């Protein structure tokens, strides 16, 4: 609960204008998610000591998107879906790093008495008002031959999911790690997860073209330190996990289990997704954008030939 209060205060600062962007720092906005912890591992290891890199920890992707849109952040961790949503109004947004691919870590969980997806009819489902939440929910309902009209949606940011479930305000939740594991401990069970999606959920690091032009040296340092921490996580796993555990509130085994459903991205995977004549990220966008348009998650198709900047991953 203490962490939730801290997140709420930070969001309040953003909303009331009390947060002032530090112009000398590179402000990076994140929300809780194991795939983003490689950045915090780098900080824990002292890789960002004496640098201008500064982390702004927010309680949800909604808060991160809003802060980035308001110009309070220089860099943000988002899903590709959320990036495409932002691109509708922020044409200068650029993907500079692929952080991970969710392969089951995003999920729809329900109470024990709801045995199958079709039993969600008429039930209260908590979901964050983001593209990835909408994609997950839409796909799960389609698999059950249900529509949005068949369920009662309860808009909740991810930092509200666990409390809402515990207090009986919802019957099911569309969420992701580490909340997924915490809900399972409260006897919720998975009815649908991201491994069943036609298009994978990809987490990326984004910035603006203007920031790339103004501060390429700091962005390069940020991403090089990320790759350094990625190597440390693979080569010194026990120590790395022990550093990450306190931030996410999971046990050692729970965190290891959550990483089984997340493919963390190193330099090789980044080159595959961001470099070359036909980078895999654009292949994914080609599949994702029509799906988002069909489900009215995007208002119109926007050109995305400049979405990738691979200058920092080589």
Q: What is the pLDDT of residue 23?
A: 57
Half-sphere exposure of 131 (CA within 13 A, CB side): 27
Whole-structure pTM value: 0.86
pLDDT single digits (tens) 203-241: 999 999 999 999 999 999 999 999 999 999 999 999 999
Residues of the chain with pLDDT under 70: 1-23
- In which element (H, E) is residue 190 found? strand 189-193
Q: Are strands 152-155 and 172-176 parallel, antiparallel or unpaired?
A: unpaired
Q: What is the pLDDT of residue 34?
A: 95
Distance between CA 143 and CA 263 in Å, rounded?
Answer: 25
- In which element (H, E) is residue 262 found? strand 262-264
Q: Would you say 267 and 76 are in contact if contact means Cβ atoms under 8 Å apart? A: no
Distance between CA 24 and CA 26 in Å, rounded?
Answer: 7
Domains in the chain: boundaries: 2-101+200-294, 106-196
What is the number of other CB atoms lying within 10 angstroms of the CB of residue 247?
18
| Domain 106-196 listed as CATH 3.40.50.2300 | no
pLDDT single digits (tens) 100-127: 999 999 999 999 999 999 999 999 999 9
Fold agreement (2-101+200-294, 106-196): yes
Q: What is the pLDDT of residue 292?
A: 87
Strand partners, 93: 208
Which CATH architecture best describes the domain 2-101+200-294?
Answer: 3-Layer(aba) Sandwich (3.40)
Give the DSSP letter string of 26-83: EEEEE-S-GGGHHHHHHHHTTTTTTSSEEEEE-SSHHHHHHHHHTT--SEEEEEHHHH
The Cα-based distances of 215 to 53, 74, 76, 101, 207 in angstroms read 11, 10, 15, 27, 11
Distance between CA 231 and CA 192 in Å, rounded?
Answer: 32
Q: Would you say 126 and 174 are in contact if contact means Cβ atoms under 8 Å apart? A: yes
Task: Identify which of 211, 214, 223, 209 has the alpha carbon closest to the alpha carbon of residue 309.
Answer: 209
């Amino acid at each position: 609960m203490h962490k939730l209060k801290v997140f709420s205060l930070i969001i309040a600062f953003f909303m009331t204008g009390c947060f002032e962007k530090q112009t000398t720092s590179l402000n990076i906005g994140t929300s809780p998610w194991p795939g983003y912890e490689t950045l915090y591992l780098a900080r824990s290891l002292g890789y960002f000591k004496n640098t201008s890199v500064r982390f702004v920890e927010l309680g949800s992707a909604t808060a991160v998107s809003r802060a980035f849109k308001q110009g309070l952040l220089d860099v943000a961790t988002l899903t590709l879906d959320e990036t495409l949503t932002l691109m509708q109004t922020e044409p200068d947004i650029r993907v500079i790093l692929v952080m991970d691919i969710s392969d089951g870590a995003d999920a729809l969980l329900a109470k024990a008495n709801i045995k199958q997806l079709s039993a969600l009819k008429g039930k209260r489902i908590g979901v964050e008002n983001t593209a990835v939440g909408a994609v997950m929910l839409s796909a799960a309902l389609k698999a059950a031959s249900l529509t949005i009209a068949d369920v009662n949606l309860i808009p909740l940011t991810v930092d509200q999911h666990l409390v809402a479930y515990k207090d009986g305000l919802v019957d099911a939740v569309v969420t992701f790690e580490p909340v997924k594991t915490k809900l399972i401990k409260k006897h919720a069970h998975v009815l649908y997860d991201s491994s069943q999606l036609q298009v994978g959920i990809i987490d990326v690091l984004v910035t603006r073209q203007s920031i790339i032009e103004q501060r390429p040296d700091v962005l390069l340092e940020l991403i090089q330190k990320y790759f350094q921490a990625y190597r440390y996580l693979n080569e010194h796993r026990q120590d790395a996990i022990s550093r990450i555990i306190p931030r996410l509130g999971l046990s050692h085994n729970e965190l290891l289990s959550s990483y089984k459903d997340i493919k963390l991205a190193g330099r090789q995977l980044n080159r595959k997704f961001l470099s070359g004549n036909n980078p895999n990220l654009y292949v994914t966008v080609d599949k994702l954008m029509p799906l988002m348009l069909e489900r009215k998650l995007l208002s119109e198709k926007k050109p995305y030939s400049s979405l990738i900047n691979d200058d920092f991953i080589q």
